[in-house]
Amino acid sequence: MKHVCKSTAALLLLLPISMISSAAEPQKAPEPMKEMGMHQGMGMMGGMTEEQKTEKMRGMQEHMLQMHDLSNQILSEKDGAKKDALKKQQLELMKAHHSQMMEHRQEKMQEHKK
């Protein structure tokens, strides 16, 4: 018990010192919007109309619902083979979504270079 009290006291003494040293470090200034690129500065939907934004959000919602549905099925499935099949199905959905995002990112990068 004595050791725990000494350790706690030492930590309580060192905490303010560590906070002071981290506060003394210079903070990095945020990058200007121009250098950050459109996808970081204005958001991924910066140049879209409200209708396009809504459609994009619906697609994102559909993907999330599919992922959550598969997750729930995986968690409730007792049969190991069926569980593995569901996991494989979810993984394929994740891969397809990732591939789609990377393709979209490449298109945006090409547009940005022009």
Q: What is the band of 2 on the pLDDT scale with cuts at 50, 70, 90?
A: low
Q: How many CB atoms lie within 10 A of CB 90?
A: 17
**Cβ density class 49-58: b for 16+ within 10 Å, e for less:** eeeeeeeeee
Position 82 pLDDT exceeds 50: yes
Tokens 């569901």 correspond to 86
Q: What average pLDDT does the segment 36-40 reach?
A: 46
